[in-house]
Amino acid sequence: MLDECARLLDEVGYEMMTTKEVARRAEVPIGTFYQFFPDKQGLVRALAMRNLEAFLGRITARLAQAHLSDWTEMVDLAVDEFVAMKRSTPGFAVVDFGKVLAGPSGSVVKGTDRMLDAAMENNAIVADRLRGITVELMGAPIGPGLDRALFVAVEAADAVLKLAFRSHPDGDPDLIGECKNLVRRYLAVHLPTG
């Protein structure tokens, strides 16, 4: 059902997607759909969580192979993985880790800023999960300063990458480069380089 949801998001966008059509394409009775998801938003929430887990898995796998010298290279790697998913993962152009876009380059659908967790904004969840990877694999210092810095970095990257994909369907390469530069320079104040 999540795969069909992702494909439908690319085809018709969030507003036009229906639970009935997702169930029909997934070849499951609508009652079965509602056993797993309370509504369309619940389905999209599950897709956003799956996307986040896939993104973090891709980063972790690449970090295990890359043997980076310091965290600045992790910034590039994370941005590259996000861009790759935006270009190739079904539905990711409409819903990456939470906020739902009306279409691949549309406006944000109201009420989707807490899709991953009712208590926290989507980017706070993403920053927290990235903090775990940064501390575990890169040896970053633990503390509220790191937490705040990563949250600000994720917010900034999110804004610039949304701009990059509004500017060009595959993401404006110059803006993607600016995103990496912005995040590296900002985090340089908060994290030691190796």
Residue 48 contacts residue 94 (beta carbons within 8 Å): no
Name the token pair of 7. 């494909």
Q: Which CATH superfamily is domain 2-188 in?
A: Tetracycline Repressor, domain 2 (1.10.357.10)
pLDDT in tens, the chain (194 residues): 999 999 999 999 898 999 999 999 999 999 999 999 999 999 999 999 999 999 999 998 988 888 777 777 889 999 999 999 999 999 999 998 877 887 666 677 887 777 788 778 888 899 888 888 777 665 666 767 788 989 999 999 999 999 999 999 999 999 999 999 999 999 888 776 65
Rounded Cα distance between 33 and 190, Å, is: 46
- Read off the pTM: 0.89
Question: What CA–CA distance (Å, rounded) separates 173 from 165?
Answer: 10
pLDDT at 134: 75
Q: Cα separations (Å) of 116 from 80, 129, 158, 171?
A: 22, 12, 15, 24
- Helix/strand/coil percent split, the chain, to 5: 70, 5, 30
pLDDT at position 43 is 94
